[in-house]
Amino acid sequence: MVTGTTVHSSKEALRLTRLFPETLYSTAGVHPHEAKSWDEETEEALRELLANQEVVAVGECGLDFNRNFSPQDTQLEVFQKQVSLACSLKKPLFIHERDAHKEVLEVLRKYKDRLPPVVIHCFTGDASQATAYLKEGCYIGLTGYVWKDKSEDGVRRILEDGILPLDRLLVETDSPFMYPNTRASKLPPYVKEALTERSLTFLHRYCTFQRNEPCSLPVTIEMIAAYMKKKSDQVALQTTFNALKVFGLTT
């Protein structure tokens, strides 16, 4: 899944999908960092992109009140426009949220009866936030970030305590970020022991200089499976099925 964050990058993402048909898919949207770039032509440009069958979701859109690269009121306005667009086109929403959990929920609840599937991308919040998103019917996307979260109420807890059910979990890279550092001392020994030589070799051979790429996904799956006390094959199959269902992909 090649993610668009501006009209331009969304067009480039679509171009890549056409180089690798039925292997790559893409999204089209305006990231909250880029919300200030929205103009009177943006929505129509996104509509045209989303009319293509390879473009399977609206986003990456949402709110980022941590960095505020765009003014908060502008972020809110642009996010609501994209939620409305997703509802009208019946395309899934791919959402970025940072330090704006309450505000994202408020926007989503305005469209509650019309919402398509919603993915909270690269979730790094706490258990109460995960529970609130799940209650609204959202899917939770996890990345290699699971290696570094050691808070008592964070991502590890939602996996270990069964707060996040397997049928609402998606696994992603967020490449080139969120590299799964399998050599970190903070990674619990039982998780390290669950990592297979094959997946580690694949990771270290192809994801060089901690540049995160899809080759990291087997290791991320194994870490998540260890926290959930499930077999990695089970997590891999279920999360693949979830992705096919949410994004309407074909195999």
- Quick one: CA dihedral 31, 32, 33, 35, positive or negative? positive
Could you give the CA distance from residue 57 to residue 160 in angstroms, rounded to a whole number? 30
Residue 96 assigned to a binding site: yes
Q: How many CB atoms lie within 10 A of CB 190?
A: 10
Q: Are 235 and 224 in contact (CB under 8 A)?
A: yes
Residue 73 assigned to a binding site: no
- One-letter amino acid of 226: A
Could you give the CA distance from residue 62 to residue 226 in angstroms, rounded to a whole number? 30
Residue 121 assigned to a binding site: yes
DSSP one-letter code for 2:
B
**Rounded to whole angstroms, what are the CA distances from 46 to 12, 39, 56, 212?**
13, 12, 12, 28
Q: How many CA atoms lie within 13 A of 207 on its CB side?
A: 27
Annotated binding residues: 60, 96, 121, 174
The annotation places the binding site for a divalent metal cation at 60, 96, 121, 174
